[in-house]
Amino acid sequence: MFAIETVALEKIYQTGFWRRATRRALWPLSLSVPEHEVFGFLGPNGAGKTTTLKLLMSLIYPTSGEARILGLPVDDPNLKRQIGYSPEQPYFYDHLTAHELLKYYAQLTGVPAKEQSKKVEGVLERVGLRDIKKLQLRKFSKGMLQRVSIAQAIVHDPRIVFLDEPMSGLDPMGRREVRDLIQELKEEGKTIFFSTHILSDAETLCDRVAVVNKGELKGVGSIAELKSRGTGESEILWESAGEIAELKKRAKSFHRSAEFWRAVVPDAEVYTAIDCIRQAKGRLISVTSVRETLEDYFFERLNAPGAEQ
């Protein structure tokens, strides 16, 4: 059984005054996420990330297809205790304090009365809001509200945590803290599904990612898998008394770093390059195949033929 599973999940919004116009936000999406995985849902603005999360949270209905969490249909009331959700733009009753709000969410998600205070205190500490727990939420900054939003998603200790752009609105310190928190949740064995358009956050945290663009899945796999393709180029390092003009001419990039010369050449030119180094009485240090970065993968997918709809 998967923690999260979607089968040809599709969403077309009806728009306009008479709801006659349509906008496709999600092409049929099939994904499965095993338990205990940190799964990144990666894509630029308008990719369909929030739509997918709302479908998983049963906040909107799919046009077709289905989604299951822990083997249950997403609208099954038994899931309430098992999942937590932090929306991208949280809206809270802002006359409440963080403590009151979290207590309310603890009640809603069925935390037994005698455990509520302890859970709320624990989670406030975890997201760094303990010292301002008595402050009304209307006095909170966007970053502080983001922490409250994450806190309400985990106060009942759910098995699966859904976070929509959890780092948005946070300064670098705050982002680091949220990253650490996600890491801790993973170590506790939770499944985390989070959307982001920030590649480095996905890279440091995720076991696997799905790349989406304009509602369409462009690729899914571990970061290592996505990055494991060679670019068809090799990096050559060597020592030599001076620059080697012939190699410079053939190289895509050519420069001297601290001790070595470095050139990147097409794979087909590697042997010619090595010959050039030998003839110049240089000493070859290494030849390595250049791997794709996550950025390369991401942008190549987004600009691939068929990316436009």
Ligand X SMILES: Nc1ncnc2c1ncn2[C@@H]1O[C@H](COP(=O)(O)OP(=O)(O)OP(=O)(O)O)[C@@H](O)[C@H]1O
Closest separation in Å from C-beta 23 to ligand X: 4
User: Residue 23: is it exposed, middle or buried by C-beta count within 10 angstroms (0-12/13-18/19+)?
Assistant: exposed
- For residue 260, give both structure tokens: 């070595």
Residues 8-27 that bind ligand X (CB under 6 A): 13, 15, 23, 25
* Contacts (Cβ under 8 Å, ≥6 apart) of 64: 8, 9, 10, 28
Using CB atoms within 10 Å of the CB of residue 206, give its burial: 0 to 12 exposed, 13 to 18 middle, 19+ buried: buried
Q: Between the CA atoms of 95, 97, 100 and 104, what dihedral angle is there, to the nearest 10 degrees?
A: 60
Structure token digits, residue 198: 């920030």
Q: Quote the least distance from Cβ 253 to ligand X, whole Å.
A: 34
Q: Is residue 213 near ligand X by the rule CB under 6 A?
A: no
Residue selected from 50, 116, 152, 213 as contacting ligand X according to rule CB under 6 A: 50
- Is residue 49 a contact point for ligand X (CB under 6 A)? yes
- Phi-psi sector, 29: left (phi>0), alpha (psi -120 to 50), beta: beta
R_g (Cα) of the chain, nearest Å: 25
What is the nearest approach in angstroms of ligand X to the Cβ of residue 250?
42
The residues facing 69 across adjacent strands are 4, 72
Nearer to ligand X, 91 or 257 (CB): 91
Q: How far is the CB of 112 from ligand X (least distance, A)?
A: 35
Residue 246 CB, nearest distance to ligand X (Å)?
A: 49
Q: Which stretch binds ligand X (CB under 6 A): 49-57, 129-137, 290-298, 300-308?
A: 49-57
Q: Which residues between 76 and 135 bind ligand X (CB under 6 A)?
A: 88
Q: How far is the CB of 53 from ligand X (least distance, A)?
A: 8
CA dist., res. 75 & res. 78, Å (int): 9
Decide if 205 contacts 174 (C-beta within 8 A). Answer: no
Smallest distance, ligand X to C-beta of residue 196, A = 9
Residues 230 and 77: their CA atoms lie apart, in Å, by 47
- Out of 6, 29, 48, 192, name the contact with ligand X by CB under 6 A: 48
The residue range among 44-52, 62-70, 127-135, 235-243 that interacts with ligand X, by the rule CB under 6 A, is 44-52
Q: Which is nearer to ligand X, 23 or 256 (CB)?
A: 23
Q: Determine the size of the site formed for ligand X (CB under 6 A).
A: 13
Choice from 19, 45, 134, 281 touching ligand X (CB under 6 A) = 45
Q: Which is nearer to ligand X, 45 or 257 (CB)?
A: 45
Which chain residues interact with ligand X by CB under 6 A?
A: 13, 15, 23, 25, 43, 45-51, 88
